[in-house]
Amino acid sequence: MLLQAASATIGSHLTAARIAYAGPVSDEFVARFAAATDPAEKLALIRALAPPWSPAVLATLADALADESWAFVEPPGWEQSRDSVDYAAARVLKTVGAAAEPMVAAKLDHASARCRDHAARVLAELPALAPATIDALLHHAGDRSLAYLIGRALRGKLDARPLLDFPETRRAGFVASIDLEPAWLAVLLDEPDLRVDVLGRIADLVPPPHELAAVVLPYVRDPDRDVAHAAVRALVPLAPDDAAITAALLAAIVERHDHAPWRGLAQRPAEHLLAHVPELLALLRGGVERAAYPLGALGGWAPSEVALALGHELAVGRWYFRILITALEQLGVAALPALPAVIAAAQDLEDDEARQAAGELAERLRAMRP
């Protein structure tokens, strides 16, 4: 009851503030904002703002980046949301453009870490920065807590490679650098704090940096699961002619009992996966349902025992019937040996959805018969 009463009070203040302040942007805002003590009133004042922006208004908004007070912004009720003054000010400042840049850049030196974060995020929205602002950002490039946001703000606005030469500024330099050669990425993999991000950058490179396959491979067994998953994603498109890479991926996935990387393994060449059919079938029969992903990826390469095994798992009513049906569809005509099991599933399964899906698959398979 107390919470609802407080919510009702805040909501009424907010509504009153919205009604009371609906005029154009002017220095009246500055005075009223300075006098406001209720966060709901401050939020209403900010939400009523519209251009043109005066320097005094922008300075007030920049100061508000340090105001963490909050209020409910919807009528009282269980689904109401809340907003804070600093986030509301930041949203407006992100739309202002270069006019607010000097005021915002000054907040990089504020005592509040959250205020500094806001300032860097706002500056990151600007397509270009004044030299003084760039200098201010570089001054904080070695701040571990701010380095990522500093890098985002500097990204594409200068050559950030010199920042990579020093351990304390390496994160900011990495984030700020749009294009880095594979050789640089290999060096940066030695940085534990950057490893997941570097692996993500490798995974996104076009064309894939095949020369990094040997460097990335050890990380698929990294004790940090995030690193291991990022390494699998990075390794999938690398060295497609190297069957040993595919074998190492499978071994690492099985060893860790991870579920997530199976889809990545399924993207390796089918001719590589073919050599591991006995192992993959054993895993499927042992309850590792995601082994169906690489088995389905065999497509027309699949021997009959693959279709038979997938069909059997479907017919016995596995909960992951959608995965099995998708895998069988991927096999194309190589799935025909499974047709009797699929027909049985369409007739005998207790789950209505599974039975219907099996029936639809049976029809598609019948249409493939010679």
Among residues 67, 56, 113, the alpha carbon closest in space to that of 90 is found at 67
> What is the structure's pLDDT at 53?
87
CB atoms near residue 340 (< 10 Å): 13
Quote the CA–CA distance of 119 and 124 in Å, as a whole number. 9
Residue 71: DSSP 8-state: E
> What is the structure's pLDDT at 255?
85
Sign (positive or negative) of CA dihedral 256, 258, 264, 268: positive
Q: What is the pLDDT of residues 109-160, one digit of tens each?
A: 999 999 999 999 999 999 999 999 999 999 999 999 999 999 999 999 999 9
Residue 279 has pLDDT above 60, yes or no: yes
Q: Report H helices in 177-320.
A: 182-188, 195-204, 213-216, 225-235, 243-256, 262-265, 270-274, 277-285, 292-296, 304-315
Do 85 and 113 touch, CB atoms closer than 8 A?
Answer: no
CB atoms near residue 90 (< 10 Å): 22
> Does residue 127 sit in helix, strand or coil?
coil
- 277 token code pair: 């059919």
Strand partners, 71: 83
Q: What is the pLDDT of residues 206-228, one digit of tens each?
A: 999 999 999 999 999 999 999 99
Quote the CA–CA distance of 48 and 37 in Å, as a whole number. 17
Among residues 305, 303, 307, 318, the alpha carbon closest in space to that of 351 is found at 318
- The reply to whether the predicted model has a pTM over 0.85 is no
